[in-house]
Amino acid sequence: MDLGTLSGVIFGSVLLLWAIMMGGPLMIFINVPSMLVTIGGSICALLITFPLGKVKSVFGATKKTVFSGSLDLVPWYTMLIDLATIARRDGILALEEKIEAITDDFLRRGLQMIVDGSPADAVQTIMEMEIENMEARHSIGHDIWKSLGNYGPAFGMIGTLIGLVQMLQNMSDPSKLGSGMAVALITTFYGALLANLFCIPLQGKLEQRTAEEVHLKKMLLAGILAIQSGDSPRMVGEKLEVYLTPAQRAANIDQGKGKEK
């Protein structure tokens, strides 16, 4: 689970509630018609912009992203070194026995192609196209959250205008102008809250996860091509270490020294 996302949502909500309750009762910030205009209007606009199936799928993907945490490249680095050792010792065809146990479709497909004897340039072209297609699919999710973040404040402003029109219809009673103005502004508050605490941060979270997955797949592709070219496990490791952070490289060095002892 990604504790950063969960902590941000919880603490952000608590801080807002605390600030509201310090200045007055919470109930004055609860207005059902304003919620319907802001949230309902934003969702309706989103459904007009994107197909229903893609909207439903992005919420599932967002849930998976939030609860899965960041990707760790080290296990994949270790797996590629092990595969390179097998290929170097027993030949490329020996990898066929290991393919079924690999859970990642991208890596399994790439290994199957080199076992089948596909040319290196064909393997690279096909796998790079797969990475590009993955980025295109993920960009739809980014656009959905971005659009929802744009629609929220816009419908909040629409709700505010509706409230102002209704308030101006009752100018004969000046005592009600203050409460009417407060209700009119609540929709703007809802729109800003929806955009800045949820939609825009979740868009950033999905973009970050996409970048991590692209980085991982590029490392896997580099490993696949290195194995196909017959590089030694040590050379494969040298090529793959460029994808690791300095801390991960240092951890690998320390782990290697521990094995030597």
1: DSSP letter = -
Asked, for residue 92, whether it belongs to a domain, the answer is: no
Indicate if 223 and 254 belong to the same structural domain: yes
b/e 129-147 (16+ beta carbons within 10 angstroms → b):
ebbeeeeeebeebbebbbb
How many domains are there within the chain? Answer: 2
Tens-digit pLDDT profile for residues 95-154: 998 898 898 999 999 999 999 999 999 999 999 999 999 999 999 999 999 999 999 999
Mean pLDDT of 170-191: 78
Asked, for residue 159, whether it belongs to a domain, the answer is: yes
This prediction has a pTM of 0.84
Indicate if 133 and 186 belong to the same structural domain: yes
Indicate if 24 and 126 belong to the same structural domain: no
Indicate if 10 and 42 belong to the same structural domain: no
The per-residue pLDDT for 151 is 96
Indicate if 53 and 163 belong to the same structural domain: yes
Q: What range does the domain containing 234 cover?
A: 32-74+120-260
Indicate if 38 and 68 belong to the same structural domain: yes
Asked, for residue 256, whether it belongs to a domain, the answer is: yes
Are the C-beta atoms of 184 and 163 separated by less than 8 Å?
A: yes
